[in-house]
Amino acid sequence: MARATPEPIITLEHVHMQFGERVIFDDASFTVNEGEFVAVLGPNGAGKSTLLKLLLGLIKANAGTIQVLGKPPRRGNTAIGYAPQHRHLEADLALRARDVVGFGLDGNRWGPGIPNARRRAIIDKALLEVDATAFADAPIGQLSGGEQQRLLIAQALLTNPRLLLLDEPLANLDISHEHEIVDLVAKVCRTRNVAVMLVTHDINPLLPVVDHVIYIAHGHTAIGTTEEVITSSTLSQLYDSPVEVVQALGRVFVVGAET
Amino acid sequence: MFDILQYSFIQNAFLAGTCVAVVAAIAGYFMIVRGLTFAGHALPNIGFAGAAGAVLLGLDPIIGLYIFTIGAGISIGFLGKEVNERDTTTGIIMTFALGLGILFLSLYFGYAERVYSILFGQILGISQFDVLITGISSLLTFGIFLTLFRPLLFSSFEPEVAEARGVPVRFLGMVFLILIAITVSLSVQIVGALLVFTLLVGPAATASRIVQRPLWAILIAIILGVFYTWLGIFLAAYSNWPVSFYIATLSFATYLPVRLLSPLWMGRQARSIAIARQRSTRPLGSAGDLQQSNAMPATRREQGSSR
């Protein structure tokens, strides 16, 4: 994916962040370029979601500089598409799949909104991109976790962002739905040349598609290719305790670390 | 049969009842999507305590009603996002307020007629001035709901994304609860504190089971709410039974069959989604996928029928 002059989308320089005594980032520095697919890994509570919130401007770092497209993070930045950790929605809510996608277009505007053909066309196109046309008019409560996830991705793409932040989109999905979402995100990343940061617990479904991995543990961060980061030596250093990386059947397993 | 319309107290009842039914239906839809329906039961009961307190102090009970409901609305706004935890705390605040209300009533040595009308409603006894106040308040509340519509809906379903998009999520949540408190206070004068839930949540809950579009659901909720109120006033005018009884009964009698029968059309919907899905399913890749896919139709059927 190397380009002549890839444009940096995210730049972190010497970022320090802590909640009380707990250090999340200690002198974290890295760059994510346009069109890159980056997986964010690490144990629970290590700061994966915190990283996304920093980029969205929802929280501030204690020290260091963060830039998104050359500017400090701010709320309401339409250059970022965001799909948070998803909770399953209830069955009997009066809301259709296309309404969820529509939030991405004008959910932040005042007034009730008047339905029109142009709006409908934009939403139809977004539904098609994530292969959700079949259930466009279905009540969201009746859709599976994978289907709801696709709608959230369509919603996040409606502002034509340069950066897509996906928090645990593979959580609670079975293997085949996992693959569908990974394929979809990879396709979106390549065709739109949008940088993707995908938070996940398991790198395996992403192995064929990721460019880089950011591993966050115990206040330390490491970035690089999967081969560079998911190694016994790098992870042992991050965790500050012996960690063994085992490869078997084309999959990677991290042993000895709480993931 | 429309001869009752010539009486001014009936005209007042129709005007005020219609205004309240419209606003209550909109509020009810948002209360359902925000998981705040319990507040629709708690706020009016808390309002009753305020009304009783005001009577004890020699004030207009309506003043106490507004102060207590708005105060409680703001308190609920500060409670946690977890529905269970919030409902538990709300319930404890509510019963404390009811206890206060009972104390206030027992300390009052007059005939607390106005307090009882807060509990049971007094739609046939409201003055032209009350109608004017109800009309203006309803119109204002309606206007604010209309203005906040999209960001409120967005932040109800996906607070994190809405916040990232620059929607003032917390502020909206607070404004919403104040609007609910005002709507509750308006409704209390029509159906009474004990039955506010029927106008607030009843029509919206029924409508949400009939249609899935937010705007359609709200429109149907409004139609149902206005219908219950009108028919309730008519029936009450021709019998000696209270309006509140009729409104609550109509609301229940409509919700019950819709609730019982909605799995029929919702199930059909789920089946047609499943068929559409199968048509659009792309060929699956690896052997692992195929293994997994064997288990999937069963899971999907289960999801469809469980609703």
- Among residues A87, A59, A82, A39, the alpha carbon closest in space to that of A199 is found at A39
- A138 touches B at CB < 8 Å: yes
Between B245 and A1, where is the model more confident?
A: B245
| Pairing label, strands A37-41, A80-83 | unpaired
Residues 6+ apart with CB under 8 A from A226: A203, A207, A210, A213, A252
What pLDDT was estimated at residue B297?
A: 38
What pLDDT was estimated at residue B194?
A: 87
Residue A92: list chain B partners with CB under 8 A: 208-209, 262, 266, 307
Residue A116: list chain B partners with CB under 8 A: none
- Worst-scoring range by mean pLDDT, A26-40, A98-112, A228-242, B105-119? B105-119
What pLDDT was estimated at residue B1?
A: 63
What pLDDT was estimated at residue B288?
A: 38
pLDDT (mean) for A156-167: 96
Here the tokens at position A49 are 């979601």
pLDDT tens digits along A72-117 = 999 999 999 999 988 777 767 889 999 999 999 999 999 998 889 9
A138/B296 Cβ within 8 A? no
- Mean pLDDT (chain A, rounded): 91
- Show pLDDT as tens, one digit a residue, over chain B (307 residues): 678 888 899 999 999 999 999 999 999 999 999 989 999 999 999 999 999 999 999 998 889 999 999 999 999 888 866 667 788 889 999 999 999 999 998 898 877 777 788 888 888 888 899 899 999 999 999 999 999 999 999 999 999 999 999 999 999 999 999 999 999 999 998 889 988 999 999 999 999 999 989 999 999 999 999 999 999 999 999 998 999 999 999 999 999 999 999 888 877 777 777 777 766 654 443 333 333 333 333 333 334 333 3
User: Is residue A198 predicted with pLDDT exceeding 50?
Assistant: yes
Phi-psi domain of B70 (left: phi exceeds 0; alpha: psi -120 through 50; beta: other): alpha
- Among residues B68, B69, B72, B52, the alpha carbon closest in space to that of B60 is found at B52
What pLDDT was estimated at residue A240?
A: 83
- Worst-scoring range by mean pLDDT, A47-61, A76-90, A120-134? A76-90
What pLDDT was estimated at residue B279?
A: 65
Give A259's pLDDT tier (boundaries 50, 70, 90). Answer: low
Give the whole-angstrom CA distance, residue B62 versus residue A246: 71
Residues 212 to 251 of B: which have CB under 8 A from any A CB?
212-217
Phi, psi of A198 (to 5 degrees): -115, 115
Give the DSSP letter of residue A21: T
User: Is residue A141 predicted with pLDDT exceeding 70?
Assistant: yes
Question: What is the least distance, in Å, from the CA of B167 to any CA of chain A?
Answer: 6
pLDDT (mean) for A6-16: 94
Distances (CA, A) of A190 to A79, A162, A168, A187, A210: 17, 12, 20, 5, 11
User: Is residue A3 predicted with pLDDT exceeding 70?
Assistant: no
Which of A41-55, A231-245, B258-272 holds the top average pLDDT? A41-55
Residues 6+ apart with CB under 8 A from B143: none
- Among residues B215, B250, B176, B237, the alpha carbon closest in space to that of B10 is found at B237
- A150 touches B at CB < 8 Å: no
pLDDT tens digits along A209-221 = 999 999 999 899 9
Residue B282: list chain A partners with CB under 8 A: 131
Crossing angle of helices A145-157/A175-192, nearest 10°? Answer: 10
What pLDDT was estimated at residue B211?
A: 92
Within a 10 A sphere around the Cβ of B254, how many other Cβ atoms? 18
Phi, psi of A168 (to 5 degrees): 50, 50
Within a 10 A sphere around the Cβ of B274, how many other Cβ atoms? 19
What pLDDT was estimated at residue B299?
A: 38
Share of chain A above pLDDT 70, in %: 97
Considering Cα of B72, then B247, then B199, then B255, what sign does the dihedral take? positive
ipTM of the complex: 0.91
Residues 8 to 47 of A: which have CB under 8 A from any B CB?
none
Share of chain A above pLDDT 90, in %: 72
What pLDDT was estimated at residue B292?
A: 39
What pLDDT was estimated at residue B280?
A: 61
Question: What is the least distance, in Å, from the CA of A239 to any CA of chain B?
Answer: 30
